[in-house]
Amino acid sequence: MTASRTTDQVAGEAAQRRHLFDVDALTVNGIAQILDEAERMTEPMGAPLRGKTVINFFAEASTRTRVSFQIAAGRLGAQVVNIAADGSSLEKGESLVDTVRTLQAVGAHALVIRHAEPGAPYLAARHFRGPVINAGDGRHAHPTQALLDLLTMRRLFGTLRGLIVAIVGDVTHSRVARSTALGLLLCGAQVRLCAPPTLLPHPGWIAALPPSGEGGTVLQTTFMRDALDGAQVVMTLRMQAERQQNGLLPNLKEYVRMYGITTARLAELAPDAVVMHPGPVNEGVEIAPELMTGRVSLISQQVENGVLVRMAVLKLLLGETGE
Ligand code: NCD
C-alpha cells in the first residue's frame, strides 16, 4: 500500500514536472532554476528546439503572452503554429478534448494553452503526450507571467527574499495576482494584496497557501496606506470586467480616486517604489498614463523578460530530455 502510493506520488510529480500548470508545483529551487535559465537566454545558443513543433493555442484574447511565446519558440529554432478560437473548429462545436487530440495527431511536441475555463490545461494534458504550458486559465493561474514578474524583480533587487510587494486592484479575478503572489511567497517576499472588499479573494485562499520556507508572507488589506507603506514594488492590475459580475464597484471614478496609482499617490505613500503592471493597461483607471513609462516603470522590462522566461520554460520542458 505504502509502496504503491509512493510510486503514484512519484509518477504524479514527474507528470507535474513535465508540464507547467501553475507555480504551486514548483519549489523555490525550481523557480530559481527557471529564472537562471532565463538569464542565459540572451547568450548565443544555436537552435536547441530545431525539429520541434510548438502549438500556441489561444482560446482567449492575448497580445503579450501569445506573441512572446511565439518569439520565444522561434528563437529556440522550433516551428510555431498559432491557433485562436476564432477560425478554429472550436467555433463549429468541436470540444477542447477533440481539438487537443487533433493537435497531438498532427505531430505537435508542446502545447501552450490559454483558455477561459480554469483547469483547461490540466484536461488538455490528459490527451496530449508532450508538455502542456498554461498561458492563463480563467481566473486560476498564469505561471509564466508570475515567473517573468519574479525575474523582473530579481533583476532589479538581486533577491526576492524580504522584498515588499503591494499588488493593487482586481485581485480576486486576476490569475496574475494569484500566481505572482504565490511565487513571491515561495521565494520569501512580503506580499500585500490591496483592493476594495469586493475585489479581494476569500480569506480562505490565503489560509490555504503553502507555508513559505523562505519566510514569505501574504496579507490583504483594503487600505492603500497599509499596502504601500514601505513597499518596494507596486504592481497594479487591470479591472477584469469580462470576469466580474455586476455590482462589485459602486462607481469607477471612486475606485480610481481610492486605488488608482498616480505620481502623487506614490510620492505620498511609497516614494521609493517601482511600478509594475502585467498589461493590458486601462490608462487612467488603475494607473496614470505617466507611470507607464519612465524611471519608476518596469512595464517594458516585464514584456522583455517575458520572452526570456518563455524561452527558458520551453527549453527546460522540451529540450534534450523532453518529448
Ligand atoms: C493578463 C492575463 O491575460 O491574465 N495579461 C497578460 O497575460 N499579460 C492580465 C490581464 O488580462 O489583465
What does the alpha-carbon distance between residue 118 and residue 227 come to, in Å, rounded to a whole number? 28
| pLDDT score recorded for residue 89 | 72
* Cα 176 to averaged position of ligand 1 atoms, centre (Å): 7
The β-bridge partners of 165 are 191, 233
**What are φ and ψ of residue 93, in 5° steps?**
100, 5
| pLDDT score recorded for residue 136 | 97
What does the alpha-carbon distance between residue 176 and residue 303 come to, in Å, rounded to a whole number? 14
Structure confidence by residue, pLDDT tens digits, 213-243: 999 999 999 999 999 999 999 999 998 777 6
* Cα 255 to averaged position of ligand 1 atoms, centre (Å): 20
The β-bridge partners of 195 are none
* Cα 303 to averaged position of ligand 1 atoms, centre (Å): 12
Instruction: Specify the ligand 1 atom closest to the Cα of 60.
Output: 3
What does the alpha-carbon distance between residue 185 and residue 191 come to, in Å, rounded to a whole number? 7
| pLDDT score recorded for residue 1 | 36
What does the alpha-carbon distance between residue 273 and residue 178 come to, in Å, rounded to a whole number? 21
| pLDDT score recorded for residue 119 | 95
| pLDDT score recorded for residue 320 | 64
Instruction: Specify the ligand 1 atom closest to the Cα of 142.
Output: 4
| pLDDT score recorded for residue 192 | 98
* Cα 64 to averaged position of ligand 1 atoms, centre (Å): 8
Domains of the chain: 3-141+306-318 (3.40.50.1370), 143-302 (3.40.50.1370)
* Residue 306 near ligand 1, beta carbon < 6 Å: no
* Cα 251 to averaged position of ligand 1 atoms, centre (Å): 23
Please name the amino acid found at residue 268: E
| pLDDT score recorded for residue 146 | 98
What does the alpha-carbon distance between residue 15 and residue 35 come to, in Å, rounded to a whole number? 21
Q: What is the mean pLDDT of each run of 10 residues along the chain (323 residues)?
A: 45 64 95 97 93 95 94 97 80 81 94 95 95 96 98 98 97 96 98 96 91 94 97 93 71 91 96 96 93 95 98 92 46
| pLDDT score recorded for residue 224 | 97
Instruction: Specify the ligand 1 atom closest to the Cα of 64.
Output: 8
